[in-house]
Amino acid sequence: MHIAPLPRHVAIIMDGNGRWARRRGLPRIEGHRQGAKSVRDVVRASRELGLPALTLYAFSSQNWARPIEEVQGLMMLLRDYVIEERDKIMDNGIRLTTAGTISRLPAFVVDPLQSLMNDAAGPRDMGLCLALSYGGRDSMVDAVRTLARQVAAGELADA
């Protein structure tokens, strides 16, 4: 049997949670809960297949504009994911990184996330990147701020 080579990197935009819930007459947060469950399945399957890198676009900077209860529910799902999956991420050689402005997330998410990122760092078997509070415009603003800081600190020439 011919097995096609795996891509080096798979990126998934998490979408359709609301539609999944609406079709079943369930509250939107149930769709997100199911989405978080799917994340667990996708990460496990990716690791088993030997995928080198997986990126999940989980929460865009526009998502902050959603109703407060939905944003809070999503933050709790994220925190639960980080706390409950810690051992699996550590034991399965997964390197955890993030993309996006994670400083915008509440401390109850950032603290366990940062701690897991510190522990699950360095060369490992699979890279898992969570894009959180991500957006093209935000990335550009962040990059320009970093450059401006480096110029001001004399680490980078301004010409």
Residues of this chain that bind ligand FPP (CB under 6 A): 14-19, 32, 35-36, 39, 56, 58-59, 63, 74, 77-78, 81, 130
- State in angstroms the smallest separation of the CB of 121 from ligand FPP: 18
Active site residue 15: yes
Contact assessment for residue 45 and residue 10, using Cβ atoms and an 8 Å cutoff: no
CB atoms within 10 A of CB 126: 20
Reduced to 3 states (helix: H, G, I; strand: E, B; else coil), residue 115 is helix
- State in angstroms the smallest separation of the CB of 110 from ligand FPP: 14
CA angle 109, 114, 117 (to 5 degrees): 125
- State in angstroms the smallest separation of the CB of 132 from ligand FPP: 8
Comparing CB distances to ligand FPP, the nearer of 70 and 142 is: 70
Active site residue 91: no
CB atoms within 10 A of CB 4: 5
